[in-house]
Amino acid sequence: MKVVYTNEALALSLSNIQGDLGFVPTMGALHDGHISLIEKSRSENKFTICSIFVNQKQFNNAEDFEKYPKTIDTDLAKLELAKCDMVFVPTNEQIYPANFKAPYYELGNIENVLEGYYRPGHFQGVCIVVNRLLDLIKPNKLYLGRKDFQQCIVIQKMLALQKLEATIELCIVRTKRDQFGLALSSRNLRLSEAAKRKSLILINSLQHAKDALNRDENTDLTKIQNDSINEIKKAGFESVDYFDFINEDFEVIKDNNESKRIIAILTAATIDAVRLIDNIEI
């Protein structure tokens, strides 16, 4: 596995690559969810590259940025074991040189709801760094995990805005969970074992809500939402930012009589001062 740290070394190393190139962008603190993306890319491409870069532009909370786990030695060992071909570990100056001007992406309402509402500017920061990495790496396929479902849809829109859909295929890989069902996340490193067990209420509540919809498509969404939030709080969560139903246009659905069908349920909640997200497809 080759590790490169500069844009020049990256360009030189990639110039000799033949065949399809798969790319997995990460912020480090790697877990089996990230490794599943590497494995998926390796199964579908001749060459796989992973990036490790903690992007400050997508953190609207400075404390959250400072607390983000940084485990570069462990990360590289995991990627070596997973047989990743190359890792790009740039500094902030490599990604954002002095002459860099951050573009603005016309994302529409998707950056104002759910994660966008609670983390203003977050999705602009995500688009800026992913677009920059894509420009440097120029992959054939981009791999993202479905746990960050809203982010996946945002990146899909960014690819369309930048007219990259024809050259880069977005591959959304199913959420990787632990043996009990908890969605794997770098933030889980900050949870106690007790909090991890309590956090199973997230996927359980999402599954119960999905089951209720499957039993009766006209069921009261507000009741499901309120009951779910109450159950999450009873399990020990300090707060619940949202537990919402969204349609194919990523609009929040409040009434089952609306014409557009529900495609997913998403939630975000905080336990042990750690904010977790999860979702389930309908």
- What are the residues facing 270 on neighbouring strands? 239, 275
Q: Are 274 and 195 in contact (CB under 8 A)?
A: yes
Tokens of 195: 């909090």
Catalytic site residue from 31, 34, 122, 208: 34
Q: Are 153 and 250 in contact (CB under 8 A)?
A: yes
Quote the Cα angle for 148-145-282, to 5°. 65
Q: Are 204 and 178 in contact (CB under 8 A)?
A: no
Is residue 8 classed as helix, strand or coil in its secondary structure? helix
Q: Which of these, 135, 120, 114, lies nearest to 25 by C-alpha position?
A: 135
Tokens of 142: 């981009």
Alpha carbon separation from 278 to 41, 100, 268 (Å, rounded)? 23, 34, 7
Q: Are 125 and 92 in contact (CB under 8 A)?
A: no
Q: Is residue 122 among the annotated active site residues? A: no
Measured CA to CA, the distance from residue 250 to residue 117 in angstroms comes to: 13
Q: How many CB atoms lie within 10 A of CB 73?
A: 8
User: Which positions are annotated as active-site residues?
Assistant: 34
